[in-house]
Amino acid sequence: MKLTKKSHACVRLEKDGRTLVIDPGGFSEPDAALGADAVLVTHEHPDHFDEGRLRAALEADPAAEIWTLRSVADRLSAAFPGRVRTVGHGDTFSAAGFEVEVHGELHAVIHPDIPRITNIGFLVDGSVFHPGDALTVPGRPVRTLMLPVMAPWNKTSEVVDYVREVAPQRAIDIHDALLTDLARPIYDRQIGLLAGADHGRLAPGESTDL
């Protein structure tokens, strides 16, 4: 499997000539969803879900499909009947040749005064876990954890403890658009020293084989 990091929380997975994209939101490249056989969306926040970009991807490829939670599906399903599938915690499905499990139900707490929305994470091929905006523990071994490294709803101690609890072989940063280059070495050092797993980050457009 080839993993390509796109900007912020978006990743692109390729295997056997097919492509799966997760969370091509408004902080990601305008063409992040184009060419995908399947798109997974963890929740409705605009840095993870850009309706216009998903519509463009589905219009460009009549065979492309989306798997997501109800709050996102309700905004797209009428225009693309049979191609937008609603899933939730505990569901399993096949998308573009990848086997996917759904884990989690709620977005992390931003502030007690802000109502929590739904959020799901996706475990792909039993190997790569993208939690969206939550520190969801899938409850089974994970080789590669896509790690939300910096967000309004987390802090470094939580990020480190999350990696320790999931115990992946490697953690690769996502949710990093708000993190400046000046601060990145601090995060790299603290997570690398404390989390207990191989930790790395990819520049937008950079790829690695898993």
Tell me the pLDDT tens digit for each residue of 140-170.
999 999 999 999 999 999 999 999 999 999 9
- Positive or negative, the CA dihedral 192, 190, 130, 88 is positive
Q: How far does CA 2 lie from the centroid of its chain?
A: 15
Q: For residues 197 and 186, is the Cβ–Cβ distance under 8 A?
A: no
pLDDT at 63: 97
Whose CA is closest to 84, among 98, 103, 64, 104? 64
Q: Scan for tokens 């609890």, then name that residue.
A: 165
pLDDT at 176: 97
CATH of the domain at 121: 3.60.15.10
Q: For residues 89 and 63, is the Cβ–Cβ distance under 8 A?
A: no
Provide the residue type at 148 as one letter.
P
User: 68 pairs with which residues across the strands?
Assistant: 41, 86
The beta strands (E) that lie in 6-97 are given as 11-15, 18-22, 38-41, 65-68, 84-86, 92-95
Please state, in angstroms and rounded to a whole number, the distance separating the CA atoms of residues 161 and 184. Answer: 19
pLDDT at 83: 98
Q: Which residue range(s) make up the domain with 43? A: 2-209
| pTM beyond cutoff 0.85 | yes
pLDDT at 41: 98
For the chain, the domain total comes to: 1
pLDDT at 150: 96
Please state, in angstroms and rounded to a whole number, the distance separating the CA atoms of residues 5 and 28. Answer: 10
Q: For residues 163 and 171, is the Cβ–Cβ distance under 8 A?
A: yes
Strand order in the sheet with 128-130: 92-95, 98-103, 121-124, 128-130, 144-148, 170-174, 198-200
**Count of beta carbons in the 10 Å neighbourhood of residue 150:** 20
pLDDT at 58: 97
Rounded alpha-carbon distances, angstroms, from residue 78 to 75, 81, 82, 102: 7, 6, 9, 23
**pLDDT in 10s for each residue of the chain, 210 residues:** 999 999 999 999 999 999 999 999 999 999 999 999 999 999 999 999 999 999 999 999 999 999 999 999 999 999 999 999 999 999 999 999 999 999 999 999 999 999 999 999 999 999 999 999 999 999 999 999 999 999 999 999 999 999 999 999 999 999 999 999 999 999 999 999 999 999 999 999 999 999
